[in-house]
Structure 1
Amino acid sequence: MIIFLLILLLLVVLILNAFFLFIQKRGSKALGAEAPKVKMDEGLVEQTEVYLKKPKQEWQINSKFNHSKLYGWFTDNQSSTTVILVHGFGVDHKSLDVHAQLFDKLGFNTLQIDNQAAGRSEGKYLGFGYIESLDLLEWIKEVIAKYPENKIILFGASMGAATVMLTTQYQLPKNVKLVIEDSGYTSASNILSYHCQKRYHIKGRYLIKGISLVSKIRAGFSYAQADCTKALSKNTLPILFMHGKNDFTVPFEMREKLLTCGKFPRMSYESQGVHIRSYYVDSKKYQGAVENFLKLYL
């Protein structure tokens, strides 16, 4: 009987570890990281190509969380404001080139970073925004070290949106003025539960708790530490929430939940777009929402 229980326990551990690797290893496609094929509004492709030709400074920092080398690319517009752009799950900084182009067009400096386990940056495991939020603190310090008087805007998409929201729970330097989140989820547990049901037709509540335990042991954090609703309860910065009604990667209903969290200045924008593609198909209104938010709070 004891041998049977030990074998069963070992089997459970192996299964949970396999799920952990499937979900969190570098290059994971567990949340459908394949970008939606959406035609951009007229002019966006050409404007982004112009932006990408501008000189970029390559920056490098070391993560205090696990000492991984992390890379970022800075575009200097001689501005007093820098936008740090944080990408999503299973992609790298290039996925936000078109958004970086928007902030460049508005005259700001841009810093596009590769998160842990993405692009050129080191790291084995994705952090659902938690590890990335700790690394973002270091990127903020790096901007201030180079440009002490710069105002800083945090922009994130999908897991990057979760990252910037999670970062607001920490004591941030006064340089950080506001946050823009595009298509962010409420928590790691909630988004995994949603995809368990949507993709695999299982509720997965206890499965997720088990994988979270493996994540705590192997990656250094549990899914409870990647809860944006709890983080926002501590936030004081203005936040612009930007979501598409046809987003089936992060359901639009999560925006409604996020809007009820905390006591801080906020604005919201919505489009008919899919995941992180509102700017692609509604660029004028998207830019207008960003500009109105900046005029009000920057």
Structure 2
Amino acid sequence: MIVIILILLLLVIVGTILNIFFLYIQKRGSSTLGSNPPNVKRDPGLDQKTAEFLKIKKTELKIESKFNHNQLYGWFTEAKYPTESTVILVHGFAVDHNSLNIHAQLFYNLGYNVLQIDNQAAGKSSGKYMGYGFIESLDLIDWVDKIKSKYPNGKIVLFGASMGAATVMLASPKLNGKVSAIIEDSGYTSTKDILSYHAQNMYHIKGRLLINGISLFSRIRAGFFYGQADCLKALSKNKIPVLFMHGQNDFTVPFEMEEKLYTCGNFFREKYVSQGVHIRSYYIDSINYQKSVEKFLKHIQ
């Protein structure tokens, strides 16, 4: 009897610890992945272009997540000149759509309609827990359908940064025929890989066993296992052209992941590499960054 009680007590303690870790890793506003990147001096003119973009009228859109019925919001900016081509921007971990305003103006000034969305548990959208790209990828499919209903024959480009990059890659197998191109900036190979990397580098913990335990709580509380967010598996089934964009001084998502992503699957691909830190390549190398984007997008015209 005492043994049974001790075992139950141990299970309660382990469960409590795993739940604490789960909340730390996935709750709204978590800083697990270092969501506050260092300030980087931007190339001349970028701040002004971004300020001008923010003054342009934006239409608020809303959808309901089919995954968990949370209310999700996005902001649509019509292009300068009428077009049916739209870029959907997907932000990263523990930030909101405003984190990509500088990238949004890039696509706006390239002549696209721009949709900036707030993921689950971010900005105005509801939700308690982030999905490391898995839940967000399911919601992204609904956002694509939303734009398709507005422009049935229009081309859609997906741009994602960090967790947003994982999101667009994870969604790719289910968007063949709906999306013309994907641009991922600073994306990671899988949820397990990125959490293991940070457990080792930030906390000096070899965390695979721990992460598997937390993954169980993620399934119970957020609705998915970490193993379901594997970008390499998704890319192996992808047929959409992808531009991979990474900075060699990225220590939030290790640069080594870029080569694993770039060499995975069978589809048209290009890559761009800078000396930038996490999601900051455009800030410091805007001319070459834009040239790479424009060159890639010519393939879908």
For 1:116, the equivalent position in structure 2 comes to 120
Task: Kindly provide the CA deviation profile for residues 163-203 of structure 1, in whole angstroms up to 9, marking residues without a partner as x.
Answer: 00000121x26341010000000000000000001100011
Secondary structure of 1:139's aligned partner: helix
Q: Is the 8 A contact 2:176 2:238 kept in 1?
A: no
Return the alpha-carbon distance in structure 2 between the equivalents of residues 213 and 7 of structure 1: 19
Alignment of 1:137-216 (within 5 A): 137-170=141-174, 172=175, 174-216=177-219
Secondary structure of 2:76's aligned partner: strand
Q: CA deviation at 1:260?
A: 1.5
Q: Is the 8 A contact 2:187 2:253 kept in 1?
A: yes
Task: Kindly provide the CA deviation profile for residues 61-100 of structure 1, in whole angstroms up to 9, marking residues without a partner as x.
Answer: 0000000000000001122210000000000000000000
Q: CA deviation at 1:296?
A: 2.2
For 2:17, the equivalent position in structure 1 comes to 15
For 1:42, the equivalent position in structure 2 comes to 44
Return the alpha-carbon distance in structure 1 between the equivalents of residues 263 and 293 of structure 2: 21
Secondary structure of 1:115's aligned partner: coil
Secondary structure of 1:286's aligned partner: helix
What amino acid maps onto 1:55 in structure 2? K
Q: CA deviation at 1:36?
A: 1.9
1:223 aligns with 2:226: yes
Return the alpha-carbon distance in structure 2 between the equivalents of residues 104 and 23 of structure 1: 34
What amino acid maps onto 2:170 in structure 1? L
Return the alpha-carbon distance in structure 1 between the equivalents of residues 88 and 262 of structure 2: 22
Secondary structure of 1:79's aligned partner: coil
Q: CA deviation at 1:222?
A: 0.4
Q: Is the 8 A contact 1:80 1:149 kept in 2?
A: yes
Return the alpha-carbon distance in structure 2 between the equivalents of residues 56 and 122 of structure 1: 20
What amino acid maps onto 1:106 in structure 2? L
Share of identical aligned residues, percent?
65
Return the alpha-carbon distance in structure 1 between the equivalents of residues 141 and 283 of structure 2: 29
Return the alpha-carbon distance in structure 2 between the equivalents of residues 91 and 243 of structure 1: 19
Q: Is the 8 A contact 1:149 1:175 kept in 2?
A: no
Alignment of 1:1-298 (within 5 A): 1-77=3-79, 78-170=82-174, 172=175, 174-298=177-301
What amino acid maps onto 1:18 in structure 2? I
Secondary structure of 2:22's aligned partner: helix
Q: Is the 8 A contact 2:176 2:240 kept in 1?
A: no
Q: Is the 8 A contact 1:278 1:286 kept in 2?
A: yes
Give the RMSD, CA atoms, in angstroms: 0.8
Return the alpha-carbon distance in structure 1 between the equivalents of residues 295 and 193 of structure 2: 31
Q: CA deviation at 1:14?
A: 0.3
Q: Is the 8 A contact 2:176 2:239 kept in 1?
A: no
Return the alpha-carbon distance in structure 1 between the equivalents of residues 60 and 50 of structure 2: 19
Return the alpha-carbon distance in structure 2 between the equivalents of residues 102 and 260 of structure 1: 27
Return the alpha-carbon distance in structure 1 between the equivalents of residues 151 and 299 of structure 2: 24
TM-score by length of 1: 0.98
Q: Is the 8 A contact 2:181 2:300 kept in 1?
A: yes
Return the alpha-carbon distance in structure 2 between the equivalents of residues 108 and 62 of structure 1: 25
What amino acid maps onto 2:120 in structure 1? Q
Listed as ranges, the gaps of 5+ residues in structure 1 are none
Listed as ranges, the gaps of 5+ residues in structure 2 are none
What amino acid maps onto 1:282 in structure 2? D
Return the alpha-carbon distance in structure 2 between the equivalents of residues 233 and 194 of structure 1: 22
Q: Structure 1 stretches (4+) deviating beyond 6 angstroms?
A: none
Q: Is the 8 A contact 1:47 1:101 kept in 2?
A: yes
Q: CA deviation at 1:262?
A: 0.6
Task: Kindly provide the CA deviation profile for residues 37-81 of structure 1, in whole angstroms up to 9, marking residues without a partner as x.
Answer: 101100000000000000100000000000000000000112221
